Chains A and B, each alone.
Chain A
Amino acid sequence: MNENKITLTDDFNIFNLIRNLWKDRILFMAIIAAFGIGSIIYTLAVDPIWEVISVIKPADPSEETTLNEASPIIGLSLGGYSHDPVINNILITIKSDTFLEQFYHKYKSSIELFDFKEKDYEGMDQKQKAEMMRHNALEKLHKVIDFQVNSDHNTITISVKLKDKYFAYDFLNDFLSTLKEYIVKQNTEEMEEDFRFYSELSQKSNDPMISQMLEKKVMEKMEKKYKLTSNVFRIVQKPAVPAKRIFPKRTMTVVVVTMIGTLFSLMIISLKPVFIKIYKMLKDNPA
């Protein structure tokens, strides 16, 4: 029975660890210092990033179909699709390359946004260069512009993260007005197309009942589209020049990294006997 008795020290070998820590205190402190100093140097050297945020509320939320009320209350369930057309329309637009391309053409020469370096395009002909520049620009725009749907309030938070906070502020303002114009234009075109379609149908129809029905349909379409055209979204929170950078968060980074360094150092100390054993094994059996 005695040989099966395990002491607390064996089960949770923290006492052994403390003893080993004292023995290897220089290594222990060196690792912590490496993490701590490394994080300080990193946070000082890295370019700061500023974030400008705006919150928009899509128009006509009553048109939105919210989540199915008969969904299960606990855990997960494979439910049906949800439809939020206005929000979806805005999201699809923000994500689309066609929409973002406008900013590429507009800000092509702004080094605050696109820092194209000639050496990256060396050896390419004009066409290849233009294609590659467009590709890189869109990649950058997708990275810089972020959005988040708050399904509790049916709002969308749009943010722009850049190294220059004033440029980011101007850019987000421009982005919002361009977004509105773009969606209005799309909706108007769609509305005109619908109008043309139903008008032609109505003209072709000889039956006054059908004509009346089609005209009613046109009016309904017009009314709905007008609402969406005149009021795409409302800006709930206007962009503002940020007072604090979002990256790097120096104090937090140094604290967390140093803490991780301490725990990592503990692990290394606990692994030292294993490494010594392997080293001895390799030394004894060099083959």
Chain B
Amino acid sequence: MIPDSFYYILISIVIFSILLAWLKSGTIFNPVSFFTIWWGSFIFISSINLVGIRTPRIGTFWVLLTALALYSIGSVTFLKSRSSGHRIEPVFITSHVTGEENFLLKIFLYAQIVTTVILIVFLRKSIGILSSLDAGTYRFLVYTDAGIFEGHKLLLNYYIRPSVFTAMFVTMAGVYLGSIKKKYFILAVMNIFIYSTVILGRSSVILLIMCSVIGLAYMYDSGLIKIKKRYVALILVPFIFLVSMSVFRRSQYLANKSGMEIVARYFIWYLTAPFSAFDYFLNTYREGIDYDFTHFRSVLGGIEEFLEPLIKKFYPKFSQINNSSYSIIAEFRDFGGPATHHNSHYTMLFTFYKDAGVIGVALFSYFFGALTSSVYNSFRNNTHLFNLIILILLTYLSIMGTTRWELMFAWPWTIIILSFLVTKKFIFEKKVQI
């Protein structure tokens, strides 16, 4: 049973966080507002049991509130107002790269085209498989040895995925800042759609929608762009794609539901069932018996995942830290309502907790908030491609932390590294001479 005091504390944390962040940054469009409104809303929805998913215990809700409060405290502490001497001039941004389609920029474009060709090959293969296999089983097998990427795991992990996501981030930020032509972004979006169709997964399209909206909000707040009706229309395209895929993959449970209803239920499930899963973890697994604290390794698990093939060449017995988490989160579990096949998503707090218990939840939330704010300050005071990409990525990761800690996987790290190389070293900002 959830006591009334919980709701008072939740509302107080959300209101005070937004207020203090607004006082400090001078704007409502800051990472603290995004984080607290998102997390606060879904913690609330989770507590009222909207679609029949098991409600977490009050102890779990206190841990969630601790994370919410600590992220806000960390973020507010390091937030800064925009200094008056560093006003961003749109002309300044648009002038430095547009028209400078150098050799490396062309390579960037050709690399995207190569990715498109590879993806089309896999798309044709997937259509063939889907004619003899139902969507659920196809999705079940997609990353296994019997799946579509059979024998091409290295290509998937070290080329396709990094290339698809990095191109999306770089071109999106470039279009927002007026430094990259829109055709590059359209190509990147097309690759996202094809990739999403090949894996029959919605997460990459959700990533595209969320990051576009986050980027738009930051750019609007900086006064660099104005919101136009066609932007809303553009957001609808991936949304329609998402609805179509959900209908295609619909199950017995939702057989009689409309597309919008499926998405609405899916949305609530996707973002509240992880709280129930985290509650399950807290109440079922005991530290020292079922698992041991991993001391900062899980939080940075993506680096190990990325380096694993290389490390295994020298230390064949090496086991990346994520394997210890998979034994807990890979199991399919029934959390009631539509969440009868839940796995993998246990909120980012699962990773924090697995590293260092409640202290880990508090400290990692705090430092994550502080880091996001610092990048936000950097973006507001000296806007360039790289800090916009990182800001969008970190805001996305903090918001979608309601599902899981993505930095335990390799893909965000590859985006960070590749974006750094692409934007800072080789292509877009190399020739900037002001």
Contacts and interface: CB of A to CB of B under 8 A. Distances in A.
A81 interface: yes
A13 B24 CA distance: 13
A78 B377 contact: no
Contacts of A70: 134, 136-137, 140
Contacts of A139: 1
A6 B80 CA distance: 13
Given A71-B136, A274-B23, A77 B142 contact: no
A22 interface: no
Interface string A63-102: 0000110111111111111101000000000000000000
Interface in A38-73: 67-68, 70-73
A157 B280 CA distance: 12
A263 interface: yes
B332 A71 contact: yes
B57 interface: yes
Contact of B86 (A3, A71, A77): A3
A222 interface: no
A80 B76 contact: no
Interface residues of B, number: 68
B23 A6 contact: no
A4 B140 contact: no
Given A12-B374, A270-B76, A77 B57 contact: no
A266 interface: yes
A142 B331 contact: no
B358 interface: yes
A75 B1 contact: no
Contacts of B269: 76, 78
A278 interface: yes
B78 A12 contact: yes
B5 interface: no
Interface string B251-271: 111100000001001100110
B378 interface: yes
A235 B66 CA distance: 36
Contact of B1 (A1, A67, A142, A278): A142
Contact-size category for A: 35 or more
A157 to B, nearest CB: 8
Interface in B370-391: 374, 377-378, 381-382
Contacts of B246: 78
Contacts of A264: 73
Interface stretch (A162-170, A172-180, A195-203, A253-261): A253-261
A244 interface: no
Given A13-B80, A71-B136, A152-B331, A4 B382 contact: yes
Contact of A82 (B73, B83, B334, B359): B334
Interface in A3-35: 3-6, 10-14, 17
Interface stretch (B113-121, B174-182, B339-347): B339-347
Given A70-B136, A71-B341, A73-B142, A1 B434 contact: yes
Contacts of B249: 77-78
Given A78-B251, A152-B331, A274-B23, A72 B341 contact: yes
A260 B70 CA distance: 7
Interface of A: 1, 3-6, 10-14, 17, 67-68, 70-82, 84, 139, 142-143, 146, 148, 150-152, 157, 252, 255-256, 259-260, 263-264, 266-267, 270-271, 274, 278
8 contacts: A10-B80, A11-B381, A13-B377, A77-B249, A151-B333, A259-B359, A260-B69, A264-B73
Given A73-B139, A78-B250, 15 more contacts: A4-B434, A11-B378, A67-B332, A73-B343, A74-B143, A75-B343, A79-B252, A80-B253, A148-B284, A151-B334, A152-B331, A260-B69, A263-B77, A264-B73, A271-B23
The 9 A-B residue pairs with the shortest CB-CB distance, nearest first, are A79-B341, A80-B252, A71-B341, A72-B139, A267-B77, A12-B374, A78-B251, A82-B334, A270-B77
